[in-house]
């Protein structure tokens, strides 16, 4: 008789001592573990500890088909406190999908999620409850075990897919329409920019003084006008080195841009430095001129401040 390996279940805390400091960052970089089980494909646009009033959402992710996904994870049993928080995050972040992750669930919470799924329309949320744990086979490394405890029925999923498809088309149309106007507007500043093809995405690049560094106009979270420097010069280590060189100028840069945002995830190849407008854009004709002016003037100042630094690093 052949040898049979033994499966052992271990506490998730053995691999992730702290929920917020260890598990949430790991989850951010490994969402495919969840996506494969739910049939969701995530983009690289993932944020953690997103402010929602006095609280912070664990993970805000986006799927490749345009859905906003709120994820709340907790060790131990699911509880009322996290149930209330996840509903708050869903409303505050205008989520399409809500995923609650815990090591175990009590029946009343499962019943509540089932009720919410049965009573949601196309314009509301899809709720998922996922039970996670760690398993080992003999002396192997721990592996994440994912069990779906509650999910929407097939009809609800199809209804939401149809709605999201319409929303994605509308959002792409709005982006394209804005860039058509902005390309003409910004050509007055940078000759030849009018030769660009208006994209249907939330971003468009412009030229940089240094190869491997992209200057980008974009809409953070799909609605906040943003100007960014993207460091994508080479390998992850090379980009990290350039990021650290720019960081040496932090004081003077923050003097020029008090609201500058430094984004450096050690696990990601690219790094970014951004200026985000604190007022969102509703993609109407009434506000378009203001947004185009803000993007143009911010980029001009951005280049004036950053170009000498980039040329000397």
Res 161: pLDDT: 63
Rounded to the nearest angstrom, the gap between the alpha carbon of residue 291 and the centroid of all alpha carbons in its chain is 23
Q: What is the pLDDT of residues 177-194, one digit of tens each?
A: 999 999 999 999 988 898
Structure tokens at 59: 């993970």
pLDDT computed for residue 236 by the predictor? 87
Per residue in 271-287, pLDDT (tens digit) is 899 999 999 999 988 89
Following DSSP, what letter does each residue of 28-65 receive, concatenated?
Answer: HHTTHHHHHHHT--B-S--EEEEEETTEEEEEEEEBTT
For the chain, domains (ranges, CATH) are 7-152 (3.40.1350.10), 170-311 (3.30.1460)
- How much is the average pLDDT of 118-139? 78
Average pLDDT over residues 118-137: 79
- Is 292 a residue whose pLDDT tops 70? yes
Give 65's pLDDT tier (boundaries 50, 70, 90). Answer: confident
The answer to whether the beta carbons of residues 220 and 226 sit under 8 Å apart is yes
Looking at the predicted structure, is the pLDDT value of residue 300 above 80?
Answer: yes
Percent of the chain at pLDDT > 70 equals: 93
Q: Tell me, what's the pLDDT at 27? A: 86
Average pLDDT, integer, range 218-225: 92
Quick one: pLDDT band at residue 165, thresholds 50, 70, 90? low
pTM: 0.50
End-to-end C-alpha distance for the chain, whole angstroms: 65
DSSP, collapsed to helix, strand or coil, labels residue 292 as helix
Long-range interactions of 27-36: CB distance < 8 A, separation 24+: 27/58, 27/59, 27/71, 27/73, 27/101, 28/59, 29/265, 29/267, 30/144, 31/59, 31/61, 33/144, 33/146, 34/71, 34/99, 34/101, 34/130, 34/146, 35/63
From residue 50, give the alpha-carbon distance in Å to each of 53, 90, 180, 221, 279: 10, 12, 32, 11, 17
User: CA 209 to CA 64: how far, in whole Å?
Assistant: 32
Mean pLDDT is highest, among 97-111, 118-132, 173-187, for 173-187
Lowest-confidence region among 41-45, 118-122, 250-254: 118-122
Buried b (16+ CB within 10 A) or exposed e, 172-205: eebbeebbeebbebbeeeeeebeebebeeebbbe
pLDDT band at 298 (very low <50, low <70, confident <90, very high): very high
Strand spans (E) along 123-223:
126-137, 143-150, 203-206, 213-220
Percent of the chain clearing pLDDT 90 (strictly above): 33
Over residues 32-59, the pLDDT tens digits come to: 888 877 877 888 888 888 888 888 889 9
Q: Which residues of 11-40 are buried (b: 16+ CB within 10 A; e: fewer)?
A: ebeebbeebeeebbbebbeebeebbeebeb
SS3 for 8? strand
- What per-residue confidence (pLDDT) applies to 160? 59
Residue 156 reports pLDDT greater than 50: no
Q: DSSP assignment of 92-115, as one string? A: HTT-SEEEEEESB--HHHHHHHHH
- 113-120 mean pLDDT: 84
Mean pLDDT along residues 147-164? 66
Instruction: Report in angstroms the alpha-carbon separations of 73 from 12, 28, 121, 125, 262.
Output: 12, 11, 25, 18, 26
The pLDDT of 111-122, averaged and rounded, is: 80
């Amino acid at each position: 008789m052949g040898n049979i390996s033994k499966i052992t279940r271990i506490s998730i805390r053995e691999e992730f001592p702290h929920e917020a400091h260890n598990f949430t960052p790991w989850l951010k970089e490994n969402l495919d573990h969840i996506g494969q089980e739910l049939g969701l494909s995530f983009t690289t646009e993932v944020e953690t500890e997103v402010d929602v009033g006095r609280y912070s959402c664990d993970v805000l992710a986006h799927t490749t088909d345009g859905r906003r996904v709120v994820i709340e994870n907790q060790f131990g049993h699911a509880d009322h406190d996290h149930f209330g928080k996840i509903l708050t995050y869903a409303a505050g972040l205008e989520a399409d999908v809500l995923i609650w992750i815990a090591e175990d669930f009590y029946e009343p919470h499962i019943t509540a999620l089932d009720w919410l799924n049965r009573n949601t329309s196309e314009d509301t949320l899809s709720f998922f409850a996922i039970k996670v744990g760690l398993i080992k086979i003999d002396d192997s490394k721990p592996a994440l075990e994912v069990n779906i405890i509650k999910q929407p029925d097939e009809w609800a999923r199809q209804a939401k897919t149809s709605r999201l498809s319409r929303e994605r088309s509308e959002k792409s149309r709005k982006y394209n329409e804005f860039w058509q106007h902005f390309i003409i507007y910004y050509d007055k500043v940078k000759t030849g920019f009018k030769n660009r093809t208006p994209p249907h995405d939330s971003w468009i690049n412009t030229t940089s003084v240094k190869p491997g560094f992209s200057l980008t106009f974009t809409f953070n979270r799909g609605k906040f006008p943003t100007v960014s420097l993207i460091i994508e010069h080479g390998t992850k280590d090379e980009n990290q080195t350039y990021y650290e060189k720019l960081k040496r100028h932090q004081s003077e840069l923050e003097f020029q841009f008090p609201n500058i945002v430094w984004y450096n995830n050690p696990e990601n190849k690219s790094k970014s430095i951004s200026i985000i407008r604190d007022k969102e854009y509703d993609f109407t004709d009434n506000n378009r001129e203001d947004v185009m002016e803000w993007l143009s003037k911010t980029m001009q100042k951005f280049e004036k401040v950053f170009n000498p630094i980039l040329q000397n690093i």
